[in-house]
Amino acid sequence: EPEVTQTPSHQVTQMGQEVILRCVPISNHLYFYWYRQILGQKVEFLVSFYNNEISEKSEIFDDQFSVERPDGSNFTLKIRSTKLEDSAMYFCASSEFSARNSPLHFGNGTRLTVT
Amino acid sequence: GDSVTQMEGPVTLSEEAFLTINCTYTATGYPSLFWYVQYPGEGLQLLLKATKADDKGSNKGFEATYRKETTSFHLEKGSVQVSDSAVYFCALAGGTSYGKLTFGQGTILTVHP
């Protein structure tokens, strides 16, 4: 069964550094998402992406964050200047249709640790 | 905005016990409702879903019924196994936003032999 893959599985970075988290969504899916989960807390929506543009973003997704689909297969999340509070598990997801109409398929996540 | 509230956890059960995890939601319109499961070290996997009132979603012995009158989508299983130990998330999509899932806070389930 096709799956969403994320790399790296664990990223350690120093405060103020830039990080790029990478995702390869399922190939025939058109909608892409980033979520994060701070340890022991709920899964929070960051951003959704469709037709090469952001379709929705949360208050968390401020100017430090950006997303890109640089080619036909990858979907990336960039954090320009990391803060301690950015430490979390970041999940990429994709869906064939909108979230209302088709289930999201999640990757196994990238654990980001900011020191 | 949309929100999902799950029962407080963690939940600890013995094998073959009956499981209920409560979930209620607040949303405008007619959202779709989902249960996702997260096993240790893995991402979230869809467990079951329901797209309209009175629909029952089911998978792997788990069931949940979309109750619009009580705005609930409680997860049940008649006889849990040790392998069901995981974190369970209730979620909705399509209330104020068609474009994202809104999750509850998750319920940790531990099943002992």
pLDDT above 70 covers what percent of chain B? 96
- The predicted model gives B35-64 an average pLDDT of 94
pLDDT above 90 covers what percent of chain A? 83
pLDDT given for residue B95 in this prediction: 67
Chain A residues closer than 8 Å to B30 by CB: none
- The tokens for A51 are 């037709």
Q: Is the pLDDT of residue A12 over 90?
A: yes
pLDDT band at A2 (very low <50, low <70, confident <90, very high): confident
- The predicted model gives B6-24 an average pLDDT of 94
Query: Within a 10 A sphere around the Cβ of B65, how many other Cβ atoms?
Result: 17
Chain B residues closer than 8 Å to A26 by CB: none
pLDDT given for residue A98 in this prediction: 87
pLDDT tens profile B85-105: 999 999 999 866 667 899 999
pLDDT given for residue B15 in this prediction: 97
Secondary structure element (H or E) that encloses residue A46, with its range: strand A43-50
How far from the centroid of its chain's Cα atoms is residue A93's Cα?
Answer: 7
Quick check: B57 contacting A, CB < 8 Å?
no
Looking up tokens 């951003």 gives A47
- The predicted model gives A3-8 an average pLDDT of 95
Cα separation, B28 vs B44, in Å, equals 25
Residues 46-75 of A with CB under 8 A from B: 48, 50, 55-56
- The predicted model gives A66-76 an average pLDDT of 91
pLDDT given for residue B96 in this prediction: 66
Distances (CA, A) of B79 to B6, B18, B74: 21, 5, 16
Least confident of A18-32, A49-63, B50-64, B91-105: B91-105
Exposed (0-12), middle (13-18) or buried (19+): which is A39, by Cβ within 10 Å?
exposed
Query: Within a 10 A sphere around the Cβ of B54, how many other Cβ atoms?
Result: 10
